[in-house]
Each structure stands twice: as structure tokens, then as C-alpha cells.
A and B are shown apart, each in its own frame.
Chain A
């Protein structure tokens, strides 16, 4: 895998595979989670990303997991976040790397097992990984 630049179709199927591992084939609905990233990344090596999911964050009703999935990066899962009701909000912000202009997906798993997602397209003007530094 090292040094291999995945072709576009390989990349999107590996991000589908990554989603399938998390969802186990269960249906994913749009909503309840919001992914915030710029429309144009100034530099693909560090893109500020915020994900927030609506939830009372109680024992009975909380967000369990949020995953950031990339369509074109060599590794489709960028990061996974695991919450407990001790967290006041199902919200994270971090900086991610994006190898090319692509679709980024935020996937949330709720305590009742339901799956929610949001996706955004982003143009990356200076790529990360693929350019080889």
C-alpha cells in the first residue's frame, strides 16, 4: 500500500468498504449530524473540521461514535471518536489531511443503533499525502 496512489474507483470503493464495516449494512439516514469544513482547503495538509451531532447526551439517548470518512485518501477512515454520556456535547473539532478534492463524510452511531450522516465536497488546492511531501 505504501507509495501506491489509489485510482479514483479503488478509492471510492475502499471508503464504501470502510463505511460498511461501521454500518454492517444497516441504513444510514441524512441528518442529526453536521460536518463543517471549508469549501476550498488552502492546504490539504491541515484542514479544520468540526462535527456536531444533536443529542441530549443522556444515558438513555446519546451519540456513541462519530467517524470521519474520506473518499480519496489512501486510508479511508480519517478518525473515529467514541463518546460517553459524560460528554456534554457530541462535538469534536480537529485538523485533517486531504489528498485531493473529494467528498468527506461524517457518520454518527447513536445509542439506539441508528446511523446518521452528513457529507460535504471540498476542493483541495495543494494536496497532502499523494504529492509525497
Chain B
């Protein structure tokens, strides 16, 4: 009798909790969706009222169409490339058959890069630039946080170079890379190195500053613990300094990555280096009636990628952070 009473009650409780969880989840989703719908509606209405020399400003529908066109173009281009390599292979096989001494050469497909190839180039460039900057900035930041002398020495340089737009560096970087990076069989193209270095130059500062501030504001008691335990310099850095400054380091890293991504697009436009920036600039120069819609696709893509990059960093921070109760956003 009693058991029967207990079980249904538990079931009903579970149901209630579940439905509440679902409805709260929906409740959270309602507002972002509403925001998006209002944005698209306004965009649709306003776009119709803006006329340019390249035709009407693209509304959501035109942009959607162009997104599909870009996908189709990419598929067509990859099919072409595949056929090109197939033909080449056949031809090479034929020549080797006729002349056994012939060493087959593989020539790369020379078709224009598609939208998706440009996205890939940009992503790859920003990743490399960001990683190089972080590998430099985190240790230097830790060093500055630990040593007042180092901070005193480096701080003027930080203050001097931090406000400089990396685009101002771009001509210098281009010339130095052209002069210094000379190789018959380059592993990376010069344009890639130029873009990556430019990204690195702007990714350095937020990480460096935040790391230094994080390290210098470690709880004094924890520093005393380190002293009483006689931890050596390496142990001190890895057992005490790094874990306690992880939030600050990640704040810097996320700022850096965001700025790096913005700067990369601009650098690609300015230097005509392959990537999303070049895509935007080429479309602008092209000036067809679809150009604006295609640029709009690129704009939205840049935004989405920037958002995804930040979320990835957040996930990484959640993985690395010891304080699982902290709300990270």
C-alpha cells in the first residue's frame, strides 16, 4: 500500500521538474530568437529603401541566394580541380609509359580560390598568428608579473606599441618579410607570413598586459605558502602562478583573438593577401549587381566565425580552469 503511494508521487515530481526545465530552456531561447527576427525584419524593410550605384542594398533574401550561389561555385570549382588532377595523372602515366626516364611533375590547380577556400586561409592565418603571439606573450607576461624590474623595463614598450594599429606595421612587415624570407622552396607563402605577423603584432598586447596584471595580483598568502614550502622558480610558476592567473590569462587571450580576427580581415583587404578580406575587396572592385549581397554574406560569415572562435576559447578556458563554479561568459 505504502510503496504504491510513494512511487507515483516520485514520478509526478520528476515530470514536473522536467517540464519546468524544458520551459525555462525555451524561455531562454525566446529572447535571442525574437531579437534575430526583429533584426531581419528591420533589415528587410530598410534595405529596400537604400539604392546604390550597384543596385538596391541586399536584403536577407538576396543574401541567402548569394550564400547558396557561393556554395554552388565552390562545389563546381572543386569538381573542376578534381578533374584537372585526374587528367594530369592520366597524362603523366601516359608519358611515363612512353618514356620510362620521365619524372612526372604535379602542377597545382590554378583556379581562383572560392569563398570557402578564402575562409580557410583566413582561419589558418589567424590561428597561426594568434598562437605565435600567445606563446610569446604568456611567458613574458608571467615574467613581468613576477619581477618589478622586468615590468619596469617592458612597460614603456607596451605603452608605446599597444595603441599602434597593426595596419601601420603592415608596409614594414611586408618589406621585411620580402627581404628576409627568401627561399627557393618556401614552406609558406610570403602573403601568409605577412598576414600572420600582422595578427601576432596586435595579439601580443592584451594577453601580455592581462597576464602581467593577473600574475602580480596573486593572493599574498599563496605567495607566503610558496615561500614556506621553498618551491623553486619553476614549481612556483607552475603550481602557484599559472593556476591562479588562468582567468586573467584567458581574458587576455580572448581579447587578443577577437582583435586579431578583426585586424586580419583589414590586413587582407589592404595588402591583397588571400583570405576573407581579399574576397570582400575583390567583390567590391568587381562591382556586379550581386557584389553587395556577396559582401554581406562575407560580413555575416566573419561575424559568425568571430563568435565561434570566442566560444571555442571559452570552452578551452572551462576545460583548463580549476574553478568549475565560476560563471564564464
- Do these two chains really belong together in a complex? no
Point out residues on B near A: beta carbons under 8 Å: none
